[in-house]
Structure 1
Amino acid sequence: MKIVSRTLLLSTLITASTAHADTQLTLQVKGAISPPSCDLTIDQQGVLDWQQINSASLSTTHATTLPARTTHLNVSCETATLFALRAKDIAARAAEAGSGDATRFSLGTTRTGKAIGSYTIRSAASSCLVDGKKMAALMSSDDRGKTWQPVQDELSWTTSGEQLIAFSDGANPQPLPAKTAVFTLRVTPSVAARQALDFDDSVTLAGSTTFDLVYL
């Protein structure tokens, strides 16, 4: 009886162990690949204000160019990142009537729907910085980054939001990665002729441009 009891107990233990044994395990491999993280800011909270402009100082028959002002578009990334920038005009209308220049951003319209004027945004590599050093060369692409063309002298930003802007070492016409970059933006407004506007009431310049950072 004693031997049988032990045998039964042993059988019970073996059965229980077999019933709970794991003969198959799954190894899960997980992770997340995140895009680079970059911040985009504009000095002066992104506002350039020409304050009060006396309408008498404007030409009656042709557009009047106002003094240029500058601000800075700043890029800051966690690590060296390959990126480009693009600009898009989001104001009500594009430039003076009859102007088809892709580099002229709109200053908006009067209450009666007349185009107030336009402004240009220009950048020169000599006034821009990459990782704290003077930028060697600016480049542009009109085919979403497939090909790049060097910018001679000064870059004129375009209004469509399609042109990509990047920078290179000046020798190889390909974008370079960077951790920080500072683009100097020189903004020059041009107000339409007085005879084309309605000055019975005040006219407010209302240009608005969006800058996007695109990861390459």
Structure 2
Amino acid sequence: MNTVRLSLASLALLGIASSTHAASTAELTVTGLITPMACTPVFSAGGLVDFGKISQQDLNQARPTMLPLKTMALTVSCNSAGRYALRMRDNRDGTAYVNSEIYYGFGLDGSGGKIGVYSLKFDPKQTVADALPVIYGTESTTNAVAWRTSNSNPIDMGSRSLLGFTEVNGSSAGPTAIQNLTSTFILEAVINAKQNLDLSQEVVMDGSATLEVVYL
């Protein structure tokens, strides 16, 4: 149907070509907004999570092996209160054996096998922002066009979603203006099944991701 409509439109234009002239120029408009707001996110321990050496005999042969949970603190400090959200980018994109925006990869083994995945979970109950009495989480999968109703449930940090914070429960208005925020994230790591890995030599778990502050 789309092709037919385009063809008919072309014929209609040809029919009036003798009486009108196509414009010889095209206009481009580029917009944006430079904000004086600036925020700095900082993970505890310099953002390093080290599981140490893991023996291959401790890995499950035919199913993934979950490692002990880790916690890490995140602080976001801004020069003034403003609305913002967080998003994570996987620097090892394509190495997670689970196809989901909340899982990030550990890189590849010597034979190109996918080593494992990890995820970060935000818990509003472990979050403090400015002098606000309580914080709720909200999320947008539409690049801040619409926001999920805020609540106190934990939220997995996504690579294609925005994570925001508000002091209003049950709101779909998006994040509140915040200057200083401190939260504890839970990191969950899983190693691929032993049968899927090349363990003839040491395998380096090489997870790397970048946390981005998105100004709203």
- TM normalised by structure 1 equals 0.78
Q: Letter of the aligned partner of 2:121 in structure 1?
A: R
Call closer, same or farther: CA 1:121–1:104 in 2, change over 3 Å.
same
Q: Letter of the aligned partner of 1:112 in structure 2?
A: S
Deviates more, 1:204-213 or 1:87-96: 87-96
1:150 deviates by 2.9
Q: Aligned pair count? A: 180
Query: Equivalent residue for 1:150?
Result: 149
Report 1:19-58 matches (<5 A).
34-58=35-59
Three-state SS of the structure 2 residue aligned to 1:204 is coil
1:35 deviates by 2.1
Query: Equivalent residue for 1:103?
Result: 102
1:129 deviates by 1.4
Larger radius of gyration: 1
1:173 deviates by 2.7
1:81 deviates by 1.4
Call closer, same or farther: CA 1:68–1:133 in 2, change over 3 Å.
farther
Three-state SS of the structure 2 residue aligned to 1:195 is helix
Tell me if the contact between 2:107 and 2:207 (Cα under 8 Å) persists in the aligned partners. yes
**Counterpart check, 1:137 vs 2:136:** yes
Counterpart CA distance in 1 for 2:188 and 2:70 is: 7
Tell me if the contact between 2:39 and 2:78 (Cα under 8 Å) persists in the aligned partners. yes
Counterpart CA distance in 2 for 1:43 and 1:199 is: 31
Counterpart CA distance in 1 for 2:81 and 2:177 is: 5
Identity of aligned residues (%): 24
Call closer, same or farther: CA 1:151–1:207 in 2, change over 3 Å.
farther
Q: Letter of the aligned partner of 1:76 in structure 2?
A: S
Deviations 1:165-205 (A, max 9, x none): 11112143321011101232211110011111111100111
Counterpart CA distance in 1 for 2:180 and 2:150 is: 20
- TM normalised by structure 2 equals 0.78
Q: Letter of the aligned partner of 2:209 in structure 1?
A: T
Query: Equivalent residue for 1:20?
Result: none
Query: Equivalent residue for 1:124?
Result: 123
Q: Letter of the aligned partner of 1:157 in structure 2?
A: M
Call closer, same or farther: CA 1:34–1:156 in 2, change over 3 Å.
closer
Q: Letter of the aligned partner of 1:110 in structure 2?
A: D
Partner of residue 167 from structure 1, selected from 132, 146, 165: 165
Counterpart CA distance in 1 for 2:176 and 2:118 is: 29
Counterpart CA distance in 1 for 2:118 and 2:41 is: 22
Q: Letter of the aligned partner of 2:55 in structure 1?
A: N
Query: Equivalent residue for 2:71?
Result: 70
1:135 deviates by 4.1
